[in-house]
Amino acid sequence: MAETKNIEVSKIKALKIFGAVVLLSLIIINLASALVVLDSLSQEKLYPGKGAEIVLKLKNNFDDDVEDVSVVLNLENTGFITQGGAESSEDKIRDDDSETFGFDIKASSSLSPGDYNIPYTITYTFDDNKTTKTGSFGITVSVETELGYVIETENNVVGQQGKVSLKIINKGLGDINFVSIKFASVNGFEILSSKEEYIGTVRSDDFETASVDVLFKSTFGQVTADIVYKDFENKEQTETITLPVKVYSREKALEIGLIKKNNTIWYILLVVFVVLLWIIYRKIKKARRKRRLDMGVER
């Protein structure tokens, strides 16, 4: 009898354990399938003052269809607005299926580049029950790199040593980093110093300059340079530019006052001329004295 009783107790315990496992499994399944989840997000490049498309993908994890699915972006006080509406909806998302919800949004022109959170509200109906869920997703406001280049020169006269400087002007809203310049090829002059220079950071609305020592050889000057840097998104970029370099002939430089005429030779000639006059004068004076002496002797 004792053994029979023990067997019955063991069966009851086993049934209880089995029931608990089944119940726990059902709870887990219900929790896992009780959401319409944000499956993925895709974003076009978004810049301050400009628009881009954002696409959200929702997946139905229920074991049946969900209906009247709506996604609303809550953009108040975020620095973003929509172009075409803040709500996107679908009549139905079938079991284990996905749907995409697209929005055209625009970033404020005063918005600083960086990462931002966009709040949203999702509503849907399942099994005649309407559910509302809230959350947020992250987007990035990037910045367009806008650089300007200017060539500056010193003592830019044929036959003279001078400098050629390349000024990099950052006109964009974001800094560029790890900037280096390589003077790849030149015409009209010879580079006497290193052809590469590391600049570092060029901040927004600022400039930096790289200079090389040169010997100007021709009035036709041109330089080609490679500029390597990392942009706002820390991606390496390379720009190759070719710019003219103004070089003057010596005659033109004298004409416009870039250099002054060297009058040393004229000073030397004047001194020589004065010395010659003095020598001639001394010879004439000596000859006259000798003549007077000779005439006095004859008397």
Are 259 and 157 within 8 A, CB to CB? yes
Instruction: Tell me the pLDDT tens digit for each residue of 238-289.
Output: 999 999 999 998 888 788 777 666 656 666 776 777 777 778 877 787 777 7
Which of the listed residues 141, 170, 202 is the one where a domain comes to its end? 141
Does 262 map to a domain? no
DSSP for residue 248: B
Which residues are CB-contacts of 62 (< 8 A; sequence separation ≥ 6)?
33, 34, 36, 95, 126
**Chain centroid offset of residue 259 CA:** 40
Q: Quote the pLDDT of residue 4.
A: 52
User: In the chain, what is the straight-line distance between the N-terminal and C-terminal CA atoms, in Å?
Assistant: 188
18 lies in some domain? no
Residue 286: what pLDDT? 77
What is the model's pLDDT at position 63? 84
144: amino acid identity, one letter: E
Give the contacts of 32 (CB within 8 A, at least 6 positions apart). 61
Residue 31: predicted pLDDT? 41
pLDDT at 71: 93
- Return the closest-CA partner of residue 160 out of 262, 250, 246: 250
User: Residues of the chain whose pLDDT is less than 50?
Assistant: 2, 5, 9, 11, 14-16, 18-34, 298-299
Q: Are residues 179 and 233 in the same domain?
A: yes
Instruction: With beta carbons less than 8 A apart as the criterion, state whether 210 and 182 touch.
Output: no
Say if residues 225 and 188 touch (Cβ distance below 8 Å): no
Residue 95 has a pLDDT of 87
Range of the domain at 219: 147-255
Give me the residues paired with residue 224 across strands.
185, 242
Q: Determine contact, residues 79/175, Cβ cutoff 8 Å.
A: no
- Say whether both 37 and 73 belong to one domain: yes
In a domain, 228, yes or no: yes
Inside any domain, residue 3: no
* Domain closes at, from 240, 255, 270: 255
CA dist 41 and 120 (Å) reads: 13
Query: 86, 118, 141 — which closes off a domain?
Result: 141
| Tokens (6 digits) for 72 | 């609303």
Mapping DSSP to helix (H, G, I), strand (E, B) and coil, where does residue 90 land? strand
pLDDT in tens, 130-157: 989 999 999 999 988 999 999 999 998 9
Which helix (H) or strand (E) segment holds residue 100: the answer is strand 98-107
- Residue 186 in tokens: 């030149």
Q: Are residues 77 and 133 in the same domain?
A: yes
Same domain? 250 vs 208 = yes
Question: Does residue 291 fall inside a structural domain?
Answer: no
Give the other-Cβ count within 10 Å of 286's Cβ: 10
CATH number at residue 154: 2.60.40.10
d(CA 177, CA 203): 8
Q: 0.75 exceeded by the pTM?
A: no
Domain count, the chain: 2
pLDDT recorded at residue 259: 62
Q: Which residue(s) pair with 57 in the sheet?
A: 40, 100
* pLDDT at site 198: 96
**Using CA atoms, how far apart are residues 144 and 202, in angstroms rounded to an integer?**
14
